[in-house]
Chain A
Amino acid sequence: MKQSNSATPDRQVYANSRFEQIPYDLVKEMTWAIVGMGALVLILAGVFSTPDVPMLTAKQVASQDPMVLVNTELSDLASTGEIAQYGPPYNHNNGSVQAIGGFAPQTWLGVTIPVNSAQDNVLNPLQRLAAINPAVSSTLSQWRTASGRTQQAWIQAVQQQLPKATIHNGRLILPQSGTNLGPVPAMVNDYLALANSGLLESAIDAHNGPAPELDRTRSLLLLQGKADHIYAGKLNMKGEQWGIIKETGNYPGAVWLWFYTLLYQIPPYSTAANADLLVVLTVLLVTAVLVFIPFIPGLRSIPRRLRVYRLIWRNYYREQEGQR
C-alpha cells in the first residue's frame, strides 16, 4: 500500500493521490461554513437568548429563609456542619472523604485550602462588624473567654429552642431567654444584621489573601448546603432532576456530560457513599478505552461490523462494485 516512489525514494506516495480526484475549494467551503454558522447562532441567540438568574446571597437567605442561615451559623460555630467535618482539601476531618478500600486520592495532597468554618464563616466576619458596632466586641469577648465546653453548651441550648423560635425584624425570638444561652442569641442577631446589610460575603472573604473578591471559596461554602439546595430546588436544578447538566429554565446545559450524570442515576453509583470517586474513575476508564480504541483488537473492528460506513461511502462502493 505504501510503496515508495522511485523519483523521490524517501517520500511516500500521498495516499489520496492514488484515487480519482474531484475539484474542491477548501477556502470557499470554510468561508461559507463560518457565514452559515454565524447565521445559525445569531438566530438562536436572538430567538432563545440565555438565562441569567442572580447568585444566591446571604442577604437573600436572611430575608427569605432566615432560619436556614441561623442553623448554618450555629452548626458552623459548633464545628458540626458539613464543611467543618469535610476533610481534605479544607481540613483534617474525614466527613466527606471518599475512598475505595484504602484508595483515597482526596487525601493525597492534604489540606491545601484551609477552611475553619467557625473562624472563617462566623467569628471573623463578626469581628469585622465589631469595628463598626462596638457592642459586638463585648459579645465576642464573652464568647472568646469561655471554655470550649461552655461554648458548645450555649450553642446546644439555643439549637434546642430553634424549632419553636421565630425571627422578627431580623431578630431571633426564642421561647425562653436565660444565661445558659450565653452570648449566642446576640451573635445570631449580629450575624443576621450583617447578612441583611449585604456585607456578610465580603466580611467572610476579606481574609482570603490579597484579592478576596476573586476567590469566594469560603463565602460560597457558607451557603453550599441547605440554602443553595432550597434555591436550586425552586429552579428545578437539583441532581435528581438532572440539574447538574441543565441550566436554569429549559435551556440545554452541559448536555455533553450526559454519560457522567447518567452514572449518578443508576446503581451501584446512585446509592454509593463514594459515588463521586466511582463515577470519576468509571468515566476515566471508559474515556481511556475510547481514546486508545485504534489499538484495541476487537473494539476497533466495531465500525466494520456496524457497516454504517457502507452508507457514508455508498457512491464509492456502488461504483467499485459496479465495475466488477
Chain B
Amino acid sequence: MSKNWTRSLRDRLQQEIPMEHLLPDTLPKYVDSYVYLFGVLTLAAFVWIILSGTILAIFGPDWWHVSPVGHFFNSLHFWSIQSFFFFMILHLWAQFLMAAWRDGRHFTWIGGWLMFLVSILAGLTGYLSQNNFDAQWIAVQGKDAMNAAGIGGFFNLLNFGQMYSLHIFVLPLILILLLGGHLLLIRKHGVVEPLPPDPKSEVRQG
C-alpha cells in the first residue's frame, strides 16, 4: 500500500508542532522581560512595511514624488523600516545575550541572520528604487563594491527595473517565507530556557 502523502504531512505537523504549541495560551513563568517584545515589535513593524509598501506599489514609483498623500505613505514606509531595523537589532542582541541558539535552536538563530541579511538587501534595493538623488548617489557609490565582489555584473545597482522588481516582489517574498520558518521553529522548540544558574554564584542548582 502506498503511503498517503497528505496524511503523513498532517501527522508530521501534528507531532512536530501541535496547535497548542503553535498558538499558546500559557508561557513558562521565566518569560518575564521586555526583551521578549523586541521580536514581536519587529514583526509588527514588518506588517506596516508591507501595508505601506503595498499602497506605494499600487500607485507606482512616480506617484509619491508628486502627490502629498503619496509622500505621506512614503514617510510611513520609511519610518516603518527604521523601526523594523531598530527593533530587529535589539532583538538580535537580546537573543545573543540569552544565547538563544541553545538546545536545537541554532536554525532559529541562523534563519534570523538570513532575515537580517535579506532585509539589508531589501533596504538597499529600496533606496535604489527611489528615483531621487539618494538613489542615484547610492547607485554610483555602491556599484564599485558590488563590482569588486564580482556580483555587479548581474546585480546592477544602476538598473532601476531590476532593483525595483527585486524590492517589491522577490525580496519581500523571501523574507515572508523565512519569517514563516522562523516563527514555526520558535513555536516548535518553545521559548528558550534560562541558562543554568551561574556556577560561580554561592547558590548552586541541584
Q: How far is the CB of B153 from chain A (nearest CB, A)?
A: 4
Cβ contact within 8 Å between A15 and B30: no
Contacts of A298 in B (CB 8 A): none
B33 part of interface (Cβ distance < 8 Å)? yes
A290 part of interface (Cβ distance < 8 Å)? yes
The residues in B between 17 and 48 inclusive whose CB is less than 8 angstroms from any CB of A are 21, 23-33, 35, 37, 40-41, 43-45, 47-48
- Where the two chains meet, the residues of A that have a C-beta atom closer than 8 Å to any C-beta of B are 1, 10-11, 14-17, 19-27, 29-30, 33-34, 36-38, 40-42, 44-46, 48-56, 88-89, 96, 98, 105-113, 211, 214-217, 220-221, 223-224, 228, 231-232, 235, 237, 239, 243-244, 247-248, 252-257, 274, 276-277, 279-280, 287, 290-295, 300, 303-304, 306-310, 312-313, 315-317, 320-321, 324
Which one of B52, B97, B136 lies within 8 Å of A312 (CB-CB)? B97
Interface size on B, residues (CB 8 A): 96
The residues in B between 91 and 109 inclusive whose CB is less than 8 angstroms from any CB of A are 94, 96-99, 101-103, 106, 109
Cβ contact within 8 Å between B144 and A324: no
Contacts of B96 in A (CB 8 A): 293, 303
Contacts of A52 in B (CB 8 A): 64-65, 71, 74, 130, 132
Contacts of A27 in B (CB 8 A): 23
The answer to whether residues A290 and B113 also contact, given A16-B28, A216-B160, A320-B197 and a CB cut-off of 8 A, is yes
Q: How far is the CB of A247 from chain B (nearest CB, A)?
A: 6
B205 part of interface (Cβ distance < 8 Å)? yes
Cβ contact within 8 Å between A295 and B106: yes
Cβ contact within 8 Å between B120 and A310: no
Cβ contact within 8 Å between B106 and A294: yes
Contacts of B133 in A (CB 8 A): 53-56, 231-232, 235, 248
The answer to whether residues A24 and B194 also contact, given A254-B123, A294-B101 and a CB cut-off of 8 A, is no
Chain A residue, CB-CB nearest to B17: A14
| 6 A/B residue pairs, CB under 8 Å, sorted by A | A22-B27, A108-B150, A215-B161, A244-B138, A252-B82, A313-B32
Q: 0/1 per residue, B157-187, Cβ < 8 Å to A?
A: 0111110100000000000000000000000
Provide the bound-state CA to CA distance between A40 and B203, in Å. Answer: 44
Contacts of B75 in A (CB 8 A): 44-46, 48-50
Q: How far is the CB of A27 from chain B (nearest CB, A)?
A: 7
Contacts of A113 in B (CB 8 A): 152-153, 156
Contacts of A293 in B (CB 8 A): 96, 101, 109
Cβ contact within 8 Å between B205 and A320: yes
B59 part of interface (Cβ distance < 8 Å)? no
Contacts of B28 in A (CB 8 A): 16, 19-22
Cβ contact within 8 Å between B74 and A306: no
Provide the bound-state CA to CA distance between A304 and B1, in Å. Answer: 52
Cβ contact within 8 Å between B40 and A33: yes
Cβ contact within 8 Å between A89 and B152: yes
Cβ contact within 8 Å between B153 and A291: no
The residues in B between 110 and 165 inclusive whose CB is less than 8 angstroms from any CB of A are 110, 113, 117, 120, 123-124, 127, 130-145, 147-150, 152-154, 156, 158-162, 164
The residues in B between 65 and 82 inclusive whose CB is less than 8 angstroms from any CB of A are 65, 71-72, 74-76, 78-80, 82
Cβ contact within 8 Å between A19 and B193: yes
Cβ contact within 8 Å between A274 and B195: no
The answer to whether residues A55 and B138 also contact, given A14-B190, A16-B191, A37-B45 and a CB cut-off of 8 A, is no
